[in-house]
Amino acid sequence: MPASYLTFLAFWLIALQSLAASAGVPVITGLNNLTVDEQDPAIIIDVDIGTTGGGAYSDGSITFSLADAVASDTLALSSDSDVDAAGAISVTDGDVYLGNGAGRDRIGSVDSTNNGQNGAPLSVLFSSPLVNGNFETGDVTGWTVYEEQYPNDADINGDSIPWVQTSPANSGTGTVLLATTTSATYTVQAVTSPVSQGTYAMQLLISGGISCTAPRSGQNPDGYCSTHGPYADSTAFEAFNGDQIFVEWSAQNGGDWYEVFGFLIGNGPDDVFNTADDTETLLFSQRGDTRVYTPSNATITVTDTYKFRFVSGTYDASGGLGVGASLYVDGVRLVGGTAVADSAVQSIARLVTFHNSSDTPPEDPRVLTVKAIAQDGSEGSATANITINPINDEPEITSHGGGGVAAAELPQSLSVLTSIIATDPDTSNLVYSLIGGADANKFSIDAATGEMRFVSPASNTPVPRTYVVQVQVSDGEFSTTQMLTITLVDAAPVVTAPVDLTVNAKGLLTRVDLSGASVTDITDGVIKAIPNKPGPFAPGTHTILWQSTDSVGNVGQATQILKVRPLANFARDQVIDDKGAPQVVVKPFLMGLPQITRLPSRIQ
């Protein structure tokens, strides 16, 4: 560790950011009910909403949430037209800015989970959580983890470190003394307990044993050896002069006391990490038996790109050389240095929009809740209703490519020629009709199903032949039409195979009467179907393919299954007395392929 730490950060251990003297309870006023039509574009919820009384909102938030929200609901934060104007609000890539007259300052961010999409609430945080800084993904995505001994242990060796014992209560300052050797396992993972906020936190666990040259005699908060690891680095982030960083951490002993560290690392003028100009600032270091979650924070005075590094470790307080402990990290975030007052929160609230994209949105009024949380944690909220008026939509014809004009090439048919298919998000009770086209009188259409047929059978009609009809679909209020050009082409013969057969074998090969296939062909009339296997057949299962070819080469086919059961004959019973030959010979004769056969026998 460097001999002296950088002075461009002011930091506090186990301390909350001091509250502004003007902080109070937020009051939300002027929130009115909103009524929109189905699928209206995004609209600002209320241009008259106001916020007062909160005073300061750094590290606070404002949240819009809709009861009984559905996936088609969207809440979003829009931007003022002149983003640099004094007091203007703008949002870029999830970061929220406040205009200062000559530019804009970052004051917060849209929550990555409560982002207003797919029915989720919209939360504007007056802080900027790092990538997975609260671990609510349920894993350590966004963090680079190292499940190994800390490689920079030599920099820590010999440093002063505060220690805190909770039972019995005691505290003091010690010195880091590294173990001679370490044999340990290292684990970094998201856990559900203990947590500071939300559902998950990151655990950095070490467990194992060490060797130590220091004399040992009973429990001692200082003078024995330590070892460190695993460790984890956050995703890099940009921080500006005046921004504040917050982290909440906890530690627990396992095999022995914890000894843990938190660092803030800047990449320096060359904008590259792991080079000579990197800066490293100690955020916290402590040794002890148990520590509950307590926030630590620091103020940035130099704009740079930074990343957090959290290092777990363990101290052999018992002197038994068996060690282990856990560091827990949660709520890692960045708070903008620009003050956020009621006026800025009000400006944000007046730019929040609502949109529902569904053709079938909820029709009943739903409750919108707006809640503001000030810097000191005090809350204020208000509610109003959002109602969506349903709008009847026109039916849409989707068959044959959809649209007002379509074409279809169809095989001749004596039954249903084609079906008109339409959808309507508001009803399934659609009525189909033929309203025009040169050939409309040649067809009929089922008003309920859309099935189209020839009025008179079209057998022996020369093909190809073209017909033009206009179809209409109505929901009772609106209707949609399609001009459909139908080209009839010669259809393949329709072959119906005989029923499946099962016969007994009559020898090695068995002749079977294959007949009964039928063929229908609109153009050629009566034609024949021929089996691909005329027989005779060996015992076993055979698939017979019946095929028929019309005058223009169209082929129709169908299959029939034939099963030939194998049979066996045996010699008659033989009786041999005690003077005869001591052997009975049985010769089975199988009609066909060998089968597994069980021979009944009796010997007296």
Interval 135-190: pLDDT, tens: 999 999 999 999 999 999 999 999 999 999 998 999 999 999 999 999 999 999 99
106 DSSP β-pair partners: 97
Whether residue 457 has pLDDT greater than 90: no
* Eight-state DSSP code of residue 397: E
**In which residue are the tokens 């050629």 written?**
524
Q: Among 125-129, 156-160, 519-523, 560-564, where is mean pLDDT lowest? A: 519-523
34-37 and 379-389 as β-strands: parallel, antiparallel, unpaired? Answer: parallel
Residue ranges with strand state E in 412-514: 418-419, 422-423, 431-436, 443-445, 451-454, 465-474, 479-489, 494-496, 501-504
Q: 3-state class of 235 per DSSP?
A: coil
Number of neighbouring beta carbons within 10 Å of residue 272: 12
Distance CA 34, CA 43 (A): 10
Domains and CATH numbers, the chain: 9-127+338-389 (2.60.40), 143-330 (2.60.120), 396-489 (2.60.40.60), 491-604 (2.60.40.10)
pLDDT at 5: 37
Q: What pairs with residue 406 in β-bridges?
A: 484
Closest CA to 430 of 368, 486, 480, 386: 480
250 pLDDT tier (thresholds 50, 70, 90):
very high
Q: Look at the block and give the residue holding tokens 């393919």.
A: 545
Return phi, psi of residue 348, to 5°.
-65, -45
pLDDT of residue 8: 33
* Through-space distance between the first and last CA atoms of the chain, rounded to whole angstroms: 100
- For residues 463 and 30, the model is more confident at 30
CA distances from 546 to 88, 499, 540 (A): 79, 12, 19
Res 242 pLDDT > 90: no
Structure tokens at 136: 């609510």
Q: In the block, which residue shows the tokens 């022996």?
A: 460
pLDDT (0 to 100) of residue 598: 55
Q: Tell me the residue length of the chain.
A: 604
The pLDDT assigned to 458 comes to 58
106 conformational bin, left if phi > 0, alpha if psi -120 to 50, beta if neither: beta
Mean pLDDT is lowest, of 4-13, 125-134, 389-398, 432-441, for 4-13
Selection from 78, 231, 213, 224 nearest residue 152 by Cα: 231
CA distances from 451 to 111, 421, 582, 585 (A): 52, 9, 81, 72
As a whole-number percent, the residues of the chain with pLDDT over 90 amount to: 69
Q: Is 155 helix (H, G, I), strand (E, B) or coil?
A: helix
- Cβ atoms within 10 Å of 364's Cβ, excluding its own: 8
Other CB atoms within 10 Å distance of the CB of residue 166: 12
CA distances from 515 to 32, 223, 500, 530, 531 (A): 81, 101, 11, 9, 9
Spatial separation of the C-alpha atoms in residues 36 and 145, rounded to whole Å = 49
What is the H or E stretch that residue 259 is in? strand 257-266
Comparing CA positions, the residue from 296, 203, 297 lying closest to residue 251 is: 203
Write the DSSP assignment of 169-206 as a string of letters: EEEEEEE--B-SEEEEEEEEEEESSS-SSSS-EEEEEE
Can you tell me the distance from the alpha carbon of 560 to that of 519, in angstroms, rounded to the nearest whole number? 14
AA identity, residue 53: G
Can you say whether residue 541 is alpha, beta or left, with left for phi > 0 and alpha for psi between -120 and 50 degrees?
Answer: beta
Q: 572 burial class (0-12, 13-18, 19+ CB within 10 angstroms)?
A: exposed
Q: Is the pLDDT of residue 589 over 60?
A: no
At residue 78, φ and ψ (nearest 5 deg) are -90, 180
Look at residue 460 and tell me whether its pLDDT is greater than 60. Answer: no
Residue 562 has pLDDT above 60, yes or no: yes
* Bridging pattern class, strands 431-436 and 443-445: unpaired
Residue 448 pLDDT exceeds 90: yes
Higher-pLDDT residue of 581 and 369 is 369
Report the distance separating Cα 532 and Cα 559, nearest Å.
Answer: 10
pLDDT at 14 over 50: no
Question: Mean pLDDT over all residues of the chain?
Answer: 88
Q: How far apart are CA 267 and CA 280, in angstroms?
A: 9
User: For residue 104, what are its two tokens?
Assistant: 């804009």
Pairing of strands 479-489, 405-411: parallel
Q: What percent of the chain has pLDDT over 70?
A: 88
Number of Cβ within a 10 Å radius of residue 343: 13
Tell me, what DSSP letter sits at residue 401? G
**Residue 583 confidence (pLDDT) above 70:** no
Radius of gyration of the chain (CA): 41
Does residue 105 register a pLDDT over 50?
A: yes
